Amino acid sequence: MFFKKIKNNILLTLIFTLLIIPNYALAYSDYIVAGGENIGIELNSKGVIIVGTYEVNGINPAKEANLRAGDKIIKINNKDVINIEEMLKVIENSNNKSNIKITYLRGNKTNDTSLKLSKSNDNIYKTGLYVKDSISGVGTLTFIDPNTKLFGALGHEIIEKNTGQKLEIKDGKIYSSTVTGITRSDIGKPGEKAARYDSSDIFGNVKENTTSGIFGNYTSTIPNKKLYKVAKEDEVKTGNATIFTVIDGNTIESFAINILRINKNTTKNILFEITDSRLLRNTGGIVQGMSGSPIIQDNFIVGAVTHVVVDDPTKGYGIFITTMLEEAEN
């Protein structure tokens, strides 16, 4: 009886311990799919972003209300608005067009103001505001985890150009994309990929926009490609490596680089130079749209391209792949 009681206590203790031990282990796979695909990106913001103002019959209603580009409208007449459609609906249903209460964010501070709409010559009430609630662009897919079906891309955050701050997103999508041309990089003037994307061919849903990239769930069929072992920070070294990216159409190609320096104390972990003569001939170096291109070394995926060195576009920076994978799991 005593033995059974002790045994049961041990079992209960073990079960309880298993239940309360935090899961510190990272869930990402040891082997993942290396990307390289060009992707179209659409992100929906949390709130409506003011991108400019205009006059109506010689009056600028937005300016009179102390509203300016970069402000984010989050409420109108105390009702939450997350997109332009909701914003217009609330304004249209307002009984007092001369006193619209606007709650907005400027930086991290919440403010209230009163917006007086002005009637245009065609007898329509105007806000004097140019606004947007989404942002789009192109980049490169970095990885897909075949077990969790999480993806990562870009290796850096998407900035809202009117505020200069990271775009706070509600949701978003990534799509298949085709590169249609390249504007070459030159000293002091980074080039860019020209591309189009197919909004009917969805690759995945974006959940996060972070300093380490954009992340979400890959909903399309996972490409049947070679899996690469994830390199830990200490396994990344200087020397020869390659990047996967698209410079024409949809074809992912491998291009030679040389890793010059490793730095664990910054997000610009990897400094590299392009040594591939064909890539240099076609692009002049790193161009916008290459962000997220996976970096491969000795059959390991070690990181992703993030930035170009503007004064020497043959050089660029990258982020450790483990940093992106850890962020994807958060």
Q: pLDDT for 4-18, tens place per residue?
A: 233 333 333 332 333
pLDDT above 50 (res 318):
yes
Alpha-carbon torsion (243, 245, 248, 253), positive or negative: positive
Tell me which DSSP letter residue 238 carries. S
- 307 catalytic, yes or no? no
pLDDT band of residue 26 (cuts 50, 70, 90) is low
Helix (H, G, I), strand (E, B) or coil at 323: helix
CA distance 155 to 294: 9
Mean pLDDT of 42-60: 91
pLDDT for residue 15: 29
Cα–Cα–Cα angle for 12, 16, 19, rounded to 5 degrees: 145
pLDDT for residue 303: 98
In this predicted model, what pLDDT tens digit does every residue of 100-145 receive, in sequence order? 999 999 888 999 999 988 877 777 888 999 999 999 999 999 999 9
Give the active site residue among 118, 145, 156, 293: 156
pLDDT for residue 121: 75
pLDDT above 70 (res 23):
no
Give the active site residue among 94, 220, 276, 312: 276
Helix (H, G, I), strand (E, B) or coil at 289: coil
pLDDT above 70 (res 19):
no
pLDDT for residue 308: 96
- 276 catalytic, yes or no? yes
pLDDT above 90 (res 297):
yes
Q: Identify the H or E element spanning 206.
A: strand 191-210
Nearest to 69 by CA among 159, 117, 129: 129
- 201 catalytic, yes or no? no
The percentage of the chain sitting over the pLDDT mark of 90, rounded to a whole number, equals 76
Tell me which DSSP letter residue 237 carries. -
Strands 227-230 and 300-308: parallel
Q: How far is CA 69 from the centre of its chain?
A: 22
Residue corresponding to tokens 């505001």 = 129
Domains and CATH numbers, the chain: 31-43+135-329 (2.40.10.120), 55-127 (2.30.42.10)
Averaged pLDDT of the chain: 89
CA distance 189 to 186: 5
pLDDT band of residue 95 (cuts 50, 70, 90) is confident
Residue 79 vs residues 94, 118, 180: alpha-carbon distances, Å: 11, 22, 43
In this predicted model, what pLDDT tens digit does every residue of 247-294 receive, in sequence order? 999 999 999 999 999 999 888 999 999 999 999 999 999 999 999 999
In this predicted model, what pLDDT tens digit does every residue of 185-241 receive, in sequence order? 999 999 999 999 999 999 999 999 999 999 999 999 999 999 999 999 999 999 999
pLDDT band of residue 94 (cuts 50, 70, 90) is confident
- State pTM to two decimals: 0.85
pLDDT for residue 8: 38
Give the active site residue among 177, 291, 293, 307: 291
pLDDT for residue 293: 98
CA distance 133 to 167: 10
